Chain A
Amino acid sequence: MRRGGTALALLGLAAAVAFPLLTTRVTWQNAAILMMMTAQLGVAWNILGGYAGQVSLGHAAFFGAGAYVSTLLSVKLGVSPWLGMGAGAVVAAGLGVLVGTPCFRLKGHYFAMATIAVGEIVQALVNGSDALGGAVGFNLPLGETGFWGFVFNRSKLPYYYIALGLLLATVGVNWIVNRSHVGYYLRAIKDEPDAARSLGVSLTRYKMIAMILSAGLTAMGGTLYAQKELFIDPGSTLSTSLSIKIALVAILGGAGTLWGPVLGAVVLTAIEEATRIAFGGTGRGTDLVVYGALLVVIAVFQPSGIAGLFTRRAPRPPAPPEPEARFP
């Protein structure tokens, strides 16, 4: 089982590396880049929302932080977007700590609702700030700069391999977290927070670790997006519909599993492309309809996501009854 999984992962990796050499069609390459970028966001979200069970619907704020910080640094100060990527991750992690400090006290749906509010507030602030480009956003300079400048327009291949590298790095972080005591603690917190505390697990500390990693990695995806599109505005990088999409990718594929969000991204991107073809136009208006419908389908038919279809699940006995009639 585990060995089969490793073989499958290596096969997938080989296919991903070879893919752009097999097809020269830009649309296909573009779709693959989009898919990997989406997957990377889902994998990053999964650390907090999947393993730790803190469902965030405000991750666009971290994505936007990455996009805006690197863009501002490069447009205004000429700093390489690669450094901007690091700076964006740090800013997003700091924002994550700010959000987590009050919000981690909230349970379940209240945490999710609070993160929606945070996302909306950040979007409103950027919309209203001239220094941050307001509602208009920023165009990044188009010229090919080579690797250090992070702008490529002769070929999509650099973006393809950067997206692949970032996805692999993000999966790698998840893998390490998952196998360390942090991963065990996050799952314990998700299952039974009080029991975890009684075993010495500080809830705030470990939720915060998950938040920092998740926010930072999401921001790196934001920088990549800005450098690939060379245009950012609040609508494309800070919207709640983006936050929902990020969460949906992970939940659709299988929250709390290593590869689930990657599967989710493949399926969601395919569905989005199909609806775009079916309904024409940009597809933007149909996004929320599609997301909503998918969430309902997952909630009703497959709460463990696509990954849950592949793992044999032991039938769960009903919860144990309360301690019953006692002496005397």
Chain B
Amino acid sequence: MSAPLLEVRGLTKRFGGLTANEDVGFTLREGEIMGLIGPNGAGKTTVFNALAGFFPPTSGTILLDGAPVEGLPPEAIAARGVARTFQIVRIFRSMTVLENVMVGAMLRHRAVPKAAVVARETLDFTGLGRRAHDPAAQLTVAEQKRLELTRALATGPRLLLLDEVMAGLTASEVQEAVELVKRIRDRGIACVVVEHVMEGIMPIADRMVVLENGRKIAEGPPAAISVDPNVIRAYLGEGYLAPGP
């Protein structure tokens, strides 16, 4: 039995006196979709920052394919196949859409023409192909979020960390995003999806992890999470039910 793709154990992160994550643990298998939810300030983005190497955890272990990676810088984590998006978009505003994605593709393809081909394919996959030659700064917010996702995908990751890519989208845009995440999973890429939009995460997650005040308060399949009394109290509000089977 090989090691899981990602294993997080006892992850704790303090900022001065504030504990943003406390003893968080979970595992993720190849090609799995995990939802990571919790109220504002629960510590979801902090988990992402630690996983992606943006700061070392105060304590705890992060194993990628069984090898510890906590404390490695973001560029080293990226090289090991972890890609992320940012909650507040950080696209390269002086570049075109295609160039943005090329920067991602260059992680595996240094030659510019090859990177352009890969970037173009990835844009077609995510449905942004027709915007390829527009300045990235001209995209709508929804498109900018999709661009960030495309750029992350172009690095050829095995694990994708998506931080609220569906926030601010219309209902039909959320449906498109849901379909896209499924197609990404079908490529064998595991995803951790941080989302407040429940319609966006409940139907696709294999498993959910719920944070509150930095601690994990529940873990399980979406259907069980949506009726978990702890979760309902902490976050979901009375009476929420998971859509469909």
Contact = CB atoms under 8 A, between A and B. Distances in A.
B3 interface: no
Contacts of B107: 199-200
22 contacts: A181-B111, A184-B103, A187-B94, A188-B92, A190-B94, A191-B93, A191-B95, A192-B91, A197-B73, A197-B74, A198-B78, A199-B152, A200-B78, A200-B107, A202-B73, A316-B138, A320-B144, A321-B141, A323-B88, A323-B168, A326-B196, A327-B196
A322 to B, nearest CB: 6
Output the residue of A187, A314, A316, A320 with the most chain B CB within 10 A. A320
Interface in B174-215: 196-198
A185 to B, nearest CB: 7
Interface of A: 179-181, 184-185, 187-188, 190-192, 194-203, 256, 314, 316-317, 320-324, 326-328
B137 A326 contact: no
The 10 closest A-B pairs by CB, nearest first: A200-B78, A200-B107, A326-B196, A195-B90, A197-B74, A323-B167, A191-B92, A320-B141, A192-B90, A327-B196
A198 B151 CA distance: 10
Given A188-B92, A194-B54, A317-B138, 13 more contacts: A181-B111, A181-B112, A187-B94, A191-B93, A192-B90, A194-B90, A197-B74, A199-B155, A200-B75, A200-B79, A202-B75, A323-B88, A326-B197
Contacts of B135: 314
Contacts of B242: none
B102 A184 contact: yes
B118 interface: no
A202 B190 CA distance: 25
B83 interface: yes
Contacts of A185: 103, 106
B138 A314 contact: yes
Contacts of A321: 141
Interface string B77-110: 0110001101111111111000100111011001
Contact of B87 (A181, A196, A198, A323): A323
B64 interface: no
B237 A328 contact: yes
